[in-house]
Amino acid sequence: MKEYRSELFLLASALLIGALGGYLYLNKSDITTAQSAVAKVEIQKPVLKYGYDVNQHHFESYPIKYGSFIGDILAAQDVSYNKILELEKKAEETFSLRKIMAGKDITFVKKSECIAPQSFIYAPDLFTYYEYYFGDSISVRKGEVPFDECTEFVTGTIRAGSTLSEALGEKGLGIAMADQLEDALAQVYFPHAQPGDQFKIIFKQKYIEGAPVGSGGILAASYKSGNSESFGFYYENEKYQGYYDVEGTPNKKTFLRAPVKASRISSYFNPNRLHPVLKVRRAHLGTDYAAPRGTEIFSVADGIITHRSYTKGNGNYVKIKHDGTYQSQYLHMSKFKSGLRVGSRVKQGEVIGYVGSTGLATGPHVCFRFWKNGRQVNHLRENFPPLDPMPAESLPDYYEVRDEYLRFFNTVPYENETEVVFASMKQP
């Protein structure tokens, strides 16, 4: 955590200077002693792509269509049948050709545009690629795409009629950041977010060739709703890892407040609700969370699956026993998570299925039901105990980390208290 503390000092400096002169981008290597200008002859370094010099190679992207075969694609590039067989066998040790997914591209690498390729590249994600070489020998290797990681800070406000995800979207941050914020501030129930609620976030941002490609995780966050302010600070040592509040208590609770992230409540627990499909008064002993079809559904706590089935009313559903007191149920799934069966043990936050509208449902959502001592209750009114606090011997070091973040938060106000400030600091 020590490197984060030095970064916070520089980040705070950037914000103060930025408030006077606008946006500032700091690089630690730029903070050097002044030197006399000396003429230097610099040797230009090659620009590499997947380990190849871009000035000496030609790259061609080829889309993998559904129903196509890698062997046929390679044969059309004049790769011999024997080489294809050898490459397929060699790939099993690293990344099988059968794992290459339709809908993505492969990139052929050639010495020049008019000759046969010597290899092709497949990138399953933004940060990893596999090189399949079939030139004078056969080999398959895994490579990592180089990226820069910056410590950044942002403030924001939830506007009337908007959600947390939309407020983050206004700042150029995606839904993944909303998910991370829900983890960092698990004590805040975001489906109840109100217009005017505000947040501050210190986070890691990854860049590839200057373009943002994803968050590296939240380091600290604060959330203000009315007169209430909540904090989450990331801390880890040899025994503990996660987000903690000001007192050193884990923000993570024994039960999650919702089984889906970045959702909204479309129907509350109501003993006398008008059923939207049957059009009759019928008790709704659950809470409906509307979310796009296919959204991941999580178990709200550790437990054992007791039901994984389908009924006309519930659609695809899963029921989990957590202990001798509590059980939970998840209805209307589009499909179950593969590999889970009755008797399977699941952990808190583990995916158990995906949002759908099977059974008696008018749209994609998950109806979440909760039992306490055999009786269905409104889980939103349950006061779940927190997890055990950090032991006393770990608190002094945690407080040191916490205080660094708090000092930084105190240097910048929430968004509606001044104009928006956004700073970035690149690590060495």
Please give the full DSSP string across 36-58, using - where no structure is assigned: ------PPPPPPEETTEETTS-E
Question: What pLDDT is recorded for position 165?
Answer: 84
Question: What pLDDT is recorded for position 416?
Answer: 65
Report if residue 45 sits inside a domain. no
Residues 205 and 217 sit within 8 Å (Cβ to Cβ): no
DSSP at 318: E
Check whether residue 278 and residue 304 sit in a common domain. Answer: yes
Residues 249 and 181 sit within 8 Å (Cβ to Cβ): no
Question: What pLDDT is recorded for position 3?
Answer: 53
Report if residue 61 sits inside a domain. yes
Structure tokens at 425: 């600091």
Q: The domain containing residue 225 runs over which residues? A: 148-253+388-426
Check whether residue 375 and residue 269 sit in a common domain. Answer: yes
DSSP at 185: T
Distance CA 264, CA 334 (A): 18
In the chain, the number of structural domains is 3
Check whether residue 272 and residue 338 sit in a common domain. Answer: yes
Check whether residue 153 and residue 137 sit in a common domain. Answer: no
Question: What pLDDT is recorded for position 230?
Answer: 93
Q: What is the CATH number of the domain that holds 167?
A: 3.10.450.350
Instruction: Note every long-range contact of 229-235, with CB atoms under 8 Å and residues 24 or more positions apart, other chains counting.
Output: 230/185, 230/187, 230/188, 231/185, 231/406, 232/184, 232/185, 232/186, 233/398, 233/401, 233/402, 233/405, 234/184, 235/1, 235/398, 235/401, 235/402
Report if residue 22 sits inside a domain. no
Other CB atoms within 10 Å distance of the CB of residue 23? 11
How much is the CA Rg of the chain, to the nearest whole Å?
26
For strands 105-110 and 58-63, give the pairing.
antiparallel
Distance CA 328, CA 341 (A): 16
Tokens 């950037």 sit at which residue?
14
Check whether residue 374 and residue 348 sit in a common domain. Answer: yes
Question: What pLDDT is recorded for position 88?
Answer: 93
Question: What pLDDT is recorded for position 404?
Answer: 94
Q: What is the CATH number of the domain that holds 298?
A: 2.70.70.10
pLDDT tens, residue by residue, 53-62:
889 999 999 9
C-alpha distances out from residue 356 to 4, 270, 289, 363, Å = 41, 22, 11, 8
Tokens 């011999």 sit at which residue?
80
Phi, psi of 402 (to 5 degrees): -55, -45
**Alpha helices by DSSP H, 124-276:** 164-169, 175-184
Check whether residue 176 and residue 278 sit in a common domain. Answer: no
**Which segments in the chain show pLDDT lower than 70?**
1-44, 262-263, 271-282, 386, 416-428
